[in-house]
Homo-oligomer: A and B are copies of this chain.
């Protein structure tokens, strides 16, 4: 598969890049910093070096998958980039957009959105903007029915770590064998590449937890 990864040098993007490369996909890093990409992935890394908001149709044509693992300190840019990508791929049958979301749009044990719980406790924290905007991003995606998209949410804890095996879910926070809602970047990357190789969540979001 020909896979473009927006934000390939970020936490999730790096792991997805490495997993896809290991499984012999044709991977392109779509990044702001070519130095960082070379440092991480070697001098032969295939790259589009561009501010994401200046990407055009020609830049993104010919991919089977575009993975949006973009992260920005301006939280609203998560939503803006989703909107830009959806607009670019309206009525496109060739490319699937794969969005890496946050955990806030998952439901908790009470069937309430995890976002509501963290808003109730941390509404005045500056970091709240990111889970809020990523939840908006998922709400927005659910309106989109003429673009091929899929999305994955990690768990409450999403740390750098190896692929050790995952369990898959759909709309709710999950727990590992120790009762913790936690998933590694390696397991998310494995789940992303598994979905790319055998898609089962077209126009749906799913989630994974460490085994």
Q: List chain A positions with a Cβ less than 8 A from chain B.
A: 53, 74, 76, 79-80, 83-84, 86-87, 90, 133, 136, 139-140, 143-144, 146
Q: Which residues of B contact A143 (CB under 8 A)?
A: 79, 133, 136
19 contacts between A and B (CB under 8 A): A53-B87, A74-B90, A76-B90, A76-B144, A76-B146, A79-B143, A80-B83, A80-B86, A80-B87, A80-B90, A83-B83, A83-B84, A83-B86, A83-B87, A84-B87, A133-B143, A136-B143, A139-B139, A140-B140
Across-interface contacts of A87 in B (CB, < 8 A): 53, 80, 83-84
Least CB distance, A129 to chain B, in whole angstroms: 10
Residues of B within 8 A of A80 (CB): 83, 86-87, 90
Q: Which residues of B contact A86 (CB under 8 A)?
A: 80, 83
Measured CB to CB, the closest approach of chain B to A29, in angstroms, equals: 24
Q: Which of A74, A80, A143, A146 has the most CB of B within 10 A?
A: A143
Which residues of B have CB within 8 Å of A139? 139
- Chain B residue at minimal CB-CB distance from A79: B143
Give A144 to B133 CA distance when docked, in angstroms.
Answer: 10
